[in-house]
Each structure stands twice: as structure tokens, then as C-alpha cells.
Amino acid sequence: MKARVAVLISGRGSNLAALVEAAKRRSYPAEIALVLSNRPAAAGLSHAQAASVPTGVIDHVPYHGDRERFEHAIEEVLERYRIDIVCLAGFMRVLTASFIKRWEGRMLNVHPSLLPAFKGLDTHGRALAAGVKVHGATIHFVAAGVDDGPIVAQGALAVHDQDTPETLANRVLEIEHRIYPMALGLLAAGRLELREGRCVIGRQTTDDRGQATGTVIISPLISDV
Ligand code: GRF
């Protein structure tokens, strides 16, 4: 039986779209059973509706900062839809420790940097300001602490001198769209294991190992020196 997944969003929903697309595959081990937004106007909601995925809105505004009550409302809907896994995809609310505890090992997040570097907002601007030559995206289990938790997957790219926060964001987003469906698929298939606070992937294919030993990103890659 496929794992039932709720995707929590606040805005555009391009990662949600990537997950919905991946879940169309018959062999994919998860189905997107619900999309929940804390913003009624989130563009991602229309994408979900167009894909015939059930949607719900739990607006945080009427809760006036009462996180417990807000999350209680979320929990109710997650329960009603018999959700097994929660995917945060651009969900812009900080969750309480008890919510995180309840979904420990069953909740993923996507973050647009190579964690643990650049937690928080404006990751691309800060990466450029820091002058890093390699940047990327991370899928991680959610643990207490913002953008914290065992790393499931990362994708990296070379930063160019002419990059702006926008050009970087666009290229990193493409990585997010590749690694999030893969990470969710691994979790849903029971292929991820948490060992001493780290995430390990039980069974690696020959491809994984080939790439792990063969792929190196060097940035900048200059040959005439
Ligand atoms: C993504 O860049 C994600 O990494 C960050 O918020 C953005 C959400 O984009 N957490 P989208 O709503 O999935 O298009």
C-alpha cells in the first residue's frame, strides 16, 4: 500500500508540483493525499486542485500566534486524511517542538542551501555574499530547530561570478525538484534509517555507488593555470 502524504505549503508550490508529478508513477511508493496551506491565496492550491488532489486551508491569522491551537487544527485534518508522511514545501510557519516530535522520522523539509550552511531565509543572497563556490539544496528530516534535522539528500551546483540571487534560485530550484521526489520515495519505501542522528540509506544501487565515487563538483573549474 502506498504511503499517504500531506504536503504543507504557503505559496507558489513548485516543489508540491514536482511531488505530485512523481506520484503519478504507478511504481512510486507514495500518493499525495492532501495539500494544506496556511495561506488561502497560495498559488500551489490551484495546482493541487487542477491535479485533483484534495486541498485544505488552515489560515494561521485567526489563531493570533497561538501555535498549539493552529497545529491542533492541522493535526485534525492530517488524522482525517490518515496521513503517514508530512512534506513541508515552502511552508512558512515555525512548528512547535511537540508537533515535530509527533512526526519525528515522518516529516521532511526542503531547504535551498547545502545545510548546515545558510539556515533561514535569503539563502542565495547570503551564499553569494559569502562567496561560496558551490551551493545547492537539501532535503532533511524535520527536527526541533529551524532548518535542522538529519539530511536525506543534497544536490550541489557551481556558483558563477555573474550569478544573482535570482539566477541561483532558479538553478537550485531545479535541484529541489529532483531530490525531493527521490527523498520522499526513499522514505515511503522504508529505505531510510536514522542512526545516531544521521540518515542512512539502507540499500544503495550500483548507480548510487557509481556516482558517489565518480562525481566531483569543482568550482571554478579552470584548466589554463
Ligand atoms: C523553495 O525554494 C524551498 O526550498 C523553500 O521555499 C521555496 C518554496 O518554493 N523552502 P515552492 O513553493 O515549492 O515553489
- Say if residue 204's pLDDT is above 80: no
* Contact indicator for 85, 152 with CB cutoff of 8 Å: no
Q: What is the mean pLDDT of residues 149-170?
A: 98
Pocket probe for ligand 1: among 14, 94, 178, the residue whose CB has the most ligand atoms within 8 Å is 14
Reading phi first (left if > 0) and then psi (alpha if -120 to 50, else beta), residue 158 is in beta
**With bands split at pLDDT 50, 70 and 90, how would you rate the model's confidence at 206?**
low
Model-level pTM? 0.95
Burial class (CB in 10 A: 0-12, 13-18, 19+), 220: exposed
Beta strands 30-37 and 55-57, pairing class: parallel
Alpha carbon distance 177, 101 (integer Å): 27
Residue positions annotated with a catalytic role? 111
- Whether the per-residue pLDDT at 203 is higher than 90: the answer is no
Ligand 1 first shell, C-beta below 6 A: 9, 11-16, 44, 89-90, 110-112, 173, 176
